[in-house]
Amino acid sequence: MKGVGAVAEHPKLQGVYSPEEAAQAAREGTVEPLTINLGPQHPSTHGVLRVITTLDGETVLKADPDIGYLHRNWEKIVESWHYPQIVPFSDRNDYLSAIFNEWLVCRAVEEAMGIELTERAQVLRTVFAELNRLVSHQMWFGTYAMDIGAFTPFLYALRDREWAYDLFEKATGARQLYAYFRIGGLRNDVSDAWVQELRDYLDYFEREAYPAYMDLLYNNEIFRVRSEGVGVVPKEVAIAYGASGPMLRASGVRHDIRRVERYGVYDRCDFDIPVGKNGDNLDRATVRMKEMIESIKIIRQCLDMLPEGEVFSPKTPRVIKVPEGDWYVRVESPRGEIGLWLVSTGGLQPYRMKWRAPSFVNLQLLNYMTRGEKIADLIASLGTIDIILGEVDR
Amino acid sequence: MSLVQQLARTAATMAKGHLVTLRELFRKPMTIHYPDEPVPHPVGFRSIPVLKVNEESGKLNCTACGLCARSCPPAIIFVESFIGEDGRRKQWPAKFDLDLSRCMVCNLCVEACPFDALEMSEDAELSAYTIEDLYFTMDELAALWKTSRSVRIAGGQKV
C-alpha cells in the first residue's frame, strides 16, 4: 500500500512495522490502511477540528489535523481597527482563557507607548490571569476525563468552574469574554467583598474540589495505567516542534514565560514551575494539576500585596497612537506561550499583528505523538494537548 | 507490579472515587432550573447597550455625536442627528440603531459616551427567531432601558 513504507520509517513504529514488513504486507495486501475522518463535528475534538486518520485496524498510522473551520481572519481584521478596539476582539482567540489574550494586546501597546501601569492594576491583572488559568485547567480536567471515558469528573469540574465564573461576572460583567483589560489599566476596580469571595473560593477549591479531583481521576489506577507511556514527546522533539506551556514542561524543560519575561507581579511571587519527566499523557496531566495549586498560591500572594489606588493609569493618552517600530511580546497562557508581533508604521492602527497561538504549534505534535498507538489513545493525546480551536484557526 | 496488586489498587482507588460521588448525595443539588427559576445577574452584567432616558424631561440623553459609533469595533451602531425644519442639525438623534446580532458587548460604546446617554442593560433574554429581530431601533433601546436594570461602568469604579 502506498505510504506504509514511509510511515514505517518513523522511530515509534519500529516494532509495529519494519520497512520490510510494511513492504511485504503491502505486496500481500494484508495491511489495509483505512482513512477515517475524525470530526469536524465530533464531540471529542474540542471544537471543529478534523483529524484525517489513517488506521490499520486500531493502530494509528498517521493523524493529520485539518484546521481552519473556525477561521475568522483575526490578523487581517485588526489591521483596520484602532488599538482599543482590538482588545475585546482578541478575547475570541482563546475563549477559555480570554484574559491572557487581552493582557497580551494591552502589553504590546503599553510597551510600545511606554505606558506605566499603576500598582493595583498590575496586581489585579495577575490575579485575574491566574484565576483564569485555574478555570481553564479545570475545564481541561473535565474534558480530558471525558476523552478517556470518565464522565463524572466533567460534572465536578464544571460545578467548581461555575463559582469562578460568577466571580468573573461580578468583576467584569461577563462570564467568558471579559473585555476587562484596557490599554493603560483595567476597566473597573473590584470591591473588598469581591476579594473576600475570591479568597473563599480559593479555600473551597483547595480544600474540597481539588482533593475530589485527585480521588476521582488523578489517583485512579485505571487512569494512570491508561495515561502512562501514551503519547510520549521526548524533550528534543518538544523543543524542535516549538511546543510551549505544559506540553513542553511535561517533557522536562523548565521554561515558563512568567519567569523568562518580566510582566505582572510574577517576579515578586513565590511559585514553582512543575515539570514532568517522560512527556507522556500522565506527565502532562500532572503538570496541569500542579499548576492549579501554583495558581492558587500566586493569587493568594497577590491578594495579600494588593495595594489601594487607581486601576487606570492617569498618564494614558486619550488617543492611543503607537510610534513606528515593531515589538514582540509574549504571555504564558494555560496552553503555552502566546506571542504578539506588533508592527506599527505610526498612527492609530497596527500595520501588522501576528498572533502566535500556542495551541496551533502544539497541535502539530499530534501526528508524532499518536503514530503507532491505538485510536482511543489518539483522543486521549488530543485531550492533553488542550487545544482551543478558536486560537488554532484565529 | 503483579496483576493481583494492580487489581487491588484499582479496586481501592475506585472505591475512593465512589466515596466522592457518594458524599455528593447528601448535599444540596446546585442545578437551577433556569427558565422556571430566575437566575439573578450581578450589577454590571453586560448584555446590550441601551439608551438612557432623562427622567425629568423624558427625552433621550443622546446628542447624536456619534462617538459610540466610531468606537464600536464591528461598527454596528448607526446614528443620525435630527435635522430640523430650518435645515440645521439638532442635538438629538433621528436614528439610533443597533445590530445586536453582531454586537461583541465590549462596553466600549458606553465608555466612549461623554453625555451619559448609553448604559449596559442586563436583560439577557433577547433571543429571537430571525436576525432581523435582533436589530434594535432607538425606541426599542429606550424601552429596554426602562424595563431592565442598566448601569454605566466606566472609569475604574469599584464593582
* B156–A88 CB contact, under 8 Å: no
Determine the average pLDDT of the residues in B140-154. 84
Residue A205 has pLDDT above 80, yes or no: yes
Tell me what pLDDT residue A6 has: 47
Determine the average pLDDT of the residues in B122-146. 87
Q: In terms of domains, do B17 and B91 share one?
A: no
> Which DSSP state fits A47?
B
**What tens digit of pLDDT does each residue of A43-95 get?**
777 778 888 888 877 888 888 888 888 888 899 999 999 998 999 999 888 88
| pLDDT above 70 coverage of chain A, percent | 92
For the domain A74-393, what is the CATH code?
1.10.645.10
Percentages helix, strand, coil for chain B (3-state, rounded to 5) are: 30, 20, 50
**What tens digit of pLDDT does each residue of A242-257 get?**
888 898 999 988 888 8
The count of CB pairs under 8 A between chains A and B is 101
Residue A85 touches partner B, C-beta closer than 8 Å: yes
Q: In terms of domains, do B24 and B53 share one?
A: no
* Inside any domain, residue B79: yes
CA distances B140 to A210, A244, A350, B44, B99, Å, are: 47, 49, 36, 21, 12
* Closest residue of chain A to B44, computed from CA coordinates: A173
Which ipTM score applies to this complex?
0.84
Q: What is the rounded CA–CA span in Å between residue A40 and residue A195?
A: 41
Which residues, in sequence order, are bridge partners of residue A344?
Answer: A325
* B21–A220 CB contact, under 8 Å: no
Residue A4 has pLDDT above 60, yes or no: no
Determine the average pLDDT of the residues in A208-221. 87
Determine the average pLDDT of the residues in B24-42. 87
- Which of A85, A180, A213, A315 best tests the B interface by mutation, with the highest count of B CBs <10 A? A85
> Which DSSP state fits A115?
P
Determine the average pLDDT of the residues in A273-288. 90
**Which residue has cell 489591521?**
A79
Secondary structure (3-state) at B144: helix
Lowest-confidence region among A22-31, A355-364, B106-115: A22-31
Q: How many domains does chain B have?
A: 2
Q: Which of A89, A170, A188 is nearest residue B42 as measured by Cβ atoms?
A: A170
> Which DSSP state fits A174?
-
The domains of chain A are located at 74-393
* B42–A217 CB contact, under 8 Å: no
Q: What is the rounded CA–CA span in Å between residue A175 and residue A177?
A: 6
Please name which of A336, A295, A148 lies closest in space to residue A227, comparing C-alpha atoms. Answer: A148
- Chain B nearest-CA distance from A22, in A, is 34
Q: In terms of domains, do B7 and B54 share one?
A: no
Determine the average pLDDT of the residues in B72-85. 87
Tell me what pLDDT residue A5 has: 47
Q: In terms of domains, do B4 and B60 share one?
A: no
Q: In terms of domains, do B52 and B26 share one?
A: no
> Which DSSP state fits B60?
B
* A173–B71 CB contact, under 8 Å: no
Q: In terms of domains, do B116 and B75 share one?
A: yes
Q: Can you read off the three cell numbers belonging to residue A321?
A: 497612537
Please, how many CA atoms are within 13 Å of residue A318, restricted to the half-sphere of its CB? 3
* Structural domain boundaries enclosing B87: 48-151
Contacts of B105 in chain A (CB under 8 A): 174, 177, 179
Length of chain A: 394
Residue A316 touches partner B, C-beta closer than 8 Å: no
Tell me what pLDDT residue A18 has: 58
Q: In terms of domains, do B62 and B127 share one?
A: yes
* Inside any domain, residue B67: yes
Contacts of A171 in chain B (CB under 8 A): 159
- Dihedral (CA of B20, B24, B27, B32) sign: positive
- Dihedral (CA of A386, A389, A390, A394) sign: positive
Residue B64 has pLDDT above 60, yes or no: yes
- Chain B nearest-CA distance from A136, in A, is 21
User: Which residue type does B18 have?
Assistant: H
Q: Can you read off the three cell numbers belonging to residue B133?
A: 429581530
* Inside any domain, residue B35: no
CA distances B98 to A1, A198, B112, B154, Å, are: 59, 36, 16, 20
Q: In terms of domains, do B100 and B147 share one?
A: yes
User: Which residue type does B73 have?
Assistant: P
Domain with B134 in it: what CATH number? Answer: 3.30.70.3270
Q: What is the rounded CA–CA span in Å between residue A32 and residue A24?
A: 12
Average confidence score pLDDT of chain A: 85
